[in-house]
Amino acid sequence: MIAVLKIFVVLLLIILLILFVYRPKRKQLVMLPENYKDLLQDYVRFYAQLDEEGKARFEKRFEKFLGAVKITGANADVEDLDRVLIGAAAIIPVFYIRDWEYVHLREILVYPGNFNQDFEQHGRDRLVTGMVGTGAMQNVMILSKWELRQGFINSQNNHNTAVHEFVHLIDKMDGVFDGVPEILLERKLVPEWKRLLELEIDRIRRGESDIDPYGATNAVECFAVMAEYFFEQRENFSQHHPELAGMMEQVFIRK
Ligand SMILES: [Zn+2]
């Protein structure tokens, strides 16, 4: 009887060992299209302008990001290009920030067009083009497929809705959604950052700034709108806003 028990225990141990060795690896959430490097090269100027080493670094971060987040179409057909553009928009603002991860982000919902704040697509107020969730939707980002593509296809302007939403996540990372990325900004620079943002909001309100008027909503939107401009047309931004550009470099470009 004891011999039978021994065999049973040994068998059990062997089964546990097998299960442990072959436990399923965390599967890649988003399947990367085979030609994703071509898509990045053709549609993402930020990537196309990098040297070979930079591109390789970008791809690594991009793959890791898409491996960790779920992308779901909400009445929208999410195509390879959309997945690639979402991955690119996530990496662009944090490309120079070592080891950055969007730790709270779990899922991105893609709507075909604009949506209202209640996430309904057929409401009267179809003005929202992208947003990061709050409350129960904390870990969710919502993007409009049309706006996502516009942000990359139209390179003549300084808009990129998806980059804008990822900058909101960066802003939120320190726990306070206030237009001050404390996690990336040296503490001693915070007062100056706030001062420059307020000055710019006043300028926008007076019609004296080339920054999108939506930036005058508040410091949160001003930061996100400025970051779109900074990443889309960095030279122009630096020319028109040298002080702000210096600050943005402190936050985003630390080599
Ligand atoms: Zn916003």
Rounded to the nearest angstrom, the distance between the alpha carbon of 4 and the centre of ligand 1 is: 67
Distance 165 CA to ligand 1 centre (A): 6
Helix (H) or strand (E) holding 143: strand 140-144
Centroid of ligand 1 to alpha carbon of 178 (angstroms): 11
Distance 234 CA to ligand 1 centre (A): 20
Least confident of 18-32, 104-118, 134-148, 160-174: 18-32
Distance 214 CA to ligand 1 centre (A): 9
- Write the pLDDT tens digit of every residue in 26-61: 556 667 888 999 999 999 999 999 999 999 999 999
What confidence category does residue 241 fall into, taking pLDDT thresholds of 50, 70 and 90? Answer: very high
Do residues 228 and 219 make contact, with C-beta atoms less than 8 angstroms apart?
no
Band (7; pLDDT cuts 50, 70, 90):
confident
217: pLDDT strictly greater than 60: yes
- The angle formed by the CA atoms of residues 155, 157 and 162, to the nearest 5 degrees, is 75
pLDDT (tens digit, 9 = 90+) per residue, 76-135?
999 999 999 999 999 999 999 988 999 889 999 999 877 665 555 444 333 456 677 666
- Nearest to 211, CA basis, from 195, 228, 198, 193: 228
Number of H helices, E strands in the chain: 11, 4
- Ligand 1 centroid to 1 CA: how many Å? 71
Please, what are the domains in the chain? 27-156 (1.10.472.150), 174-255 (3.40.390.10)
Distance 132 CA to ligand 1 centre (A): 8
